[in-house]
């Protein structure tokens, strides 16, 4: 048994009155966040004293006397705000210690940048399959499209930029590790931009480029937004149209990555990938947008957590020289990014550079086997059917 954490996300359909209460709660906790941050900054400036969560919780009690609107929010939701301020400081100190780029001191938040409230332990309960009871808010209509598993640790109510509301349950569940159906099936994956991924069995997965496909429409909507008067109703509508298109792009990308990662963990017992430092890669002045659009990091995370349940092994290898080393004789063949074909002068291997990298990744993980080529013939058509059935592909 493997104990892990899973998130269960459900769409909420609050009434107009409940939306007003949600917005008011967000405004109150945003105000409290700024007050606690201000108190912590002043305490350090005046007496070199660092306030911790216990001190900030005591400060919340004092603030309740001065600001009665804080009493309209559940007490544990208010205490979670002090936890957020404390985590902001912890992350700041960690970045200072690591000395990597800008450290980013915790800053004050505007109402638009504060998008969620959290119930750490209680204050919520399901009445039935379509009603979620929230303390000091009421019964909110909920679409419970799948049952919640495990022990509920926290509940977060989120507002999206498009005005949608979601309930996100963080649950601790016990996952029984299964034996994979095809333990001998092995594959190496080389991610890229020309193709999203090239497999060691010469299967290429096309890069959907969702952002690039919607870029023309996005440019038009952003131009319209820039011409609107600030604070006007037309500007709010224009901002909403831009947010809706960004949400569509994100949903298309998530749909593609979830289905693709599910396909791999079901078909292959061992998957070899590169341990890429994507944060450094997105600093490229010309390729950053395309790398972010491909979202390799999300793909690797999806593979990792789904492999835990499927009994699949993920082997991460060093990306050092995977693009220039020959997969057959290990001779270094230097080439620029523009050279798309690998021609080895030593052994005569003549294949696409991405296929060569995928084969090298698999051999680096010591998982080379004959079954991977059989799995290719069985899985290539299934992969096409999966991606073609995706709404995002259509």
Whether residue 121 lies inside any domain: the answer is yes
Whether residue 52 lies inside any domain: the answer is yes
| Closest C-alpha to 190, from 310, 336, 344, 365 | 365
Catalytic residues: 190, 274, 354
Is residue 154 domain-shared with residue 247, that is, in the same domain?
no
- Could you tell me which residues are beta bridge partners of residue 170? 7, 154
Whether residue 383 lies inside any domain: the answer is yes
Is residue 137 domain-shared with residue 260, that is, in the same domain?
no
Q: What pLDDT was estimated at residue 372?
A: 37
Is residue 356 domain-shared with residue 321, that is, in the same domain?
yes
Cβ atoms 362, 188 nearer than 8 A: yes
Cβ atoms 148, 110 nearer than 8 A: no
Is residue 249 domain-shared with residue 348, that is, in the same domain?
yes
Of 126, 152, 175, which residue constitutes the final position of a domain? 175
Whether residue 305 lies inside any domain: the answer is yes
Positive or negative, the Cα torsion across 246, 249, 250, 251? positive
Mind listing the pLDDT tens digit for each residue in 181-213? 888 889 999 999 999 999 999 899 999 999 999
Cβ neighbors of 205 (< 8 A, separation 6 or more) are: 195, 196, 197, 198, 199, 260, 383, 387
Q: What pLDDT was estimated at residue 53?
A: 86
Is residue 273 domain-shared with residue 381, that is, in the same domain?
yes
CA dihedral defined by 256, 262, 263, 269, rounded to 10 degrees? 150
Task: List, edge to edge, every strand of the sheet that includes 313-317.
Answer: 204-206, 195-199, 186-191, 270-274, 313-317
Is residue 198 domain-shared with residue 143, that is, in the same domain?
no
Of 130, 152, 175, which residue constitutes the final position of a domain? 175
Q: What pLDDT was estimated at residue 367?
A: 46
Whether residue 214 lies inside any domain: the answer is no
Could you say which DSSP state residue 69 is in?
G
- Could you tell me which residues are beta bridge partners of residue 199? 189
Q: What pLDDT was estimated at residue 373?
A: 34
3-state secondary structure 332-393: ECCCCCCCCEEECCCCCCEEEHHHHHHHHHHHHCCCCCCHHHHHHHHHHHHHHHHHHCCCCC
Is residue 117 domain-shared with residue 249, that is, in the same domain?
no
Of 149, 175, 201, which residue constitutes the final position of a domain? 175
Is residue 103 domain-shared with residue 251, that is, in the same domain?
no
Is residue 344 domain-shared with residue 305, that is, in the same domain?
yes
**Strand 138-143 relative to strand 195-199: parallel, antiparallel, unpaired?**
unpaired
Number of domains in the chain: 2
Cβ neighbors of 165 (< 8 A, separation 6 or more) are: 11, 12, 13, 14, 19, 22, 157, 158, 159
Name residues of the chain where pLDDT drops below 70.
Answer: 1, 366-394
Cβ atoms 376, 202 nearer than 8 A: yes
d(CA 35, CA 51): 13
d(CA 211, CA 337): 23
- Alpha carbon separation from 170 to 151, 154, 388 (Å, rounded): 8, 5, 32
Whether residue 150 lies inside any domain: the answer is yes
Is residue 98 domain-shared with residue 124, that is, in the same domain?
yes
Is residue 21 domain-shared with residue 160, that is, in the same domain?
yes
Q: What pLDDT was estimated at residue 368?
A: 41
Whether residue 198 lies inside any domain: the answer is yes
Is residue 167 domain-shared with residue 277, that is, in the same domain?
no
- Could you tell me which residues are beta bridge partners of residue 260? none
Can you give the length of the chain in residues?
394
Mind listing the pLDDT tens digit for each residue in 54-86? 889 999 999 999 999 999 999 999 999 999 999
194-200: list long-range contacts, CB under 8 Å, 24+ apart.
194/340, 194/354, 195/354, 196/260, 196/294, 197/260, 198/352, 198/354, 198/355, 198/357, 198/358, 199/358, 199/376, 200/272, 200/355, 200/358, 200/359, 200/361, 200/362, 200/372
Whether residue 250 lies inside any domain: the answer is yes
pTM of the model: 0.85
Cβ atoms 269, 186 nearer than 8 A: yes
Full domain range(s) for residue 354: 186-209+241-388
């Amino acid at each position: 048994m493997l104990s892990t954490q899973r998130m269960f996300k459900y769409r909420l359909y609050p009434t107009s009155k409940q939306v007003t209460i949600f917005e008011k709660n967000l405004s109150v906790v945003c105000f409290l966040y700024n007050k606690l941050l201000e108190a912590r900054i002043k305490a350090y400036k005046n007496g070199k004293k660092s306030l911790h969560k216990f001190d900030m919780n005591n400060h919340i009690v004092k603030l309740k006397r001065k600001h009665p609107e804080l009493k309209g929010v559940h007490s544990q939701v208010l205490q979670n705000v002090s936890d957020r301020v404390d985590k902001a400081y912890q992350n700041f100190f960690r970045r200072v210690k690591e000395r990597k780029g800008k450290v980013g001191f915790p800053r004050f938040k505007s109402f638009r940048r504060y998008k969620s409230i959290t119930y750490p332990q209680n204050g919520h309960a399901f009445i039935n399959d379509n009603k979620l009871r929230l303390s000091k808010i009421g019964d909110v209509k909920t679409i419970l499209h799948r049952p919640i598993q495990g022990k509920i640790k926290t509940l977060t109510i989120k507002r999206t930029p498009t005005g949608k509301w979601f309930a996100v349950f963080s649950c601790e569940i016990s996952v029984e590790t299964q034996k994979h159906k095809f333990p001998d099936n092995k594959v190496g994956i080389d991610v890229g931009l020309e193709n999203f991924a090239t497999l060691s069995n010469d299967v290429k997965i096309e890069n959907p480029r969702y952002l690039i496909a919607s870029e023309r429409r996005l440019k038009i909507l952003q131009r319209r937004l820039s011409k609107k008067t600030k604070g006007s109703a037309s500007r709010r509508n224009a901002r909403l149209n831009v947010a809706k298109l960004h949400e569509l792009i994100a949903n298309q990308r998530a749909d593609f990555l979830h289905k693709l990662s599910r396909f791999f963990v079901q078909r292959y017992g061992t998957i070899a990938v590169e341990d890429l430092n994507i944060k450094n890669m997105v600093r490229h002045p010309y390729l950053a947008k395309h790398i972010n659009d491909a979202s390799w990091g999300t793909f690797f995370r999806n593979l990792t957590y789904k492999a835990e349940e499927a009994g699949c092994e993920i082997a991460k290898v060093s990306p050092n020289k995977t693009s220039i080393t020959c997969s057959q004789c290990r001779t270094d063949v230097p080439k620029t990014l523009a050279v798309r074909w690998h021609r080895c002068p030593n052994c005569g291997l003549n294949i696409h550079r991405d296929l060569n990298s995928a084969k090298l990744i698999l051999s680096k993980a010591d998982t080379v086997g004959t079954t991977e080529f059989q799995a290719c013939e069985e899985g290539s058509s299934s992969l096409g059917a999966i991606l073609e059935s995706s709404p995002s592909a259509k």
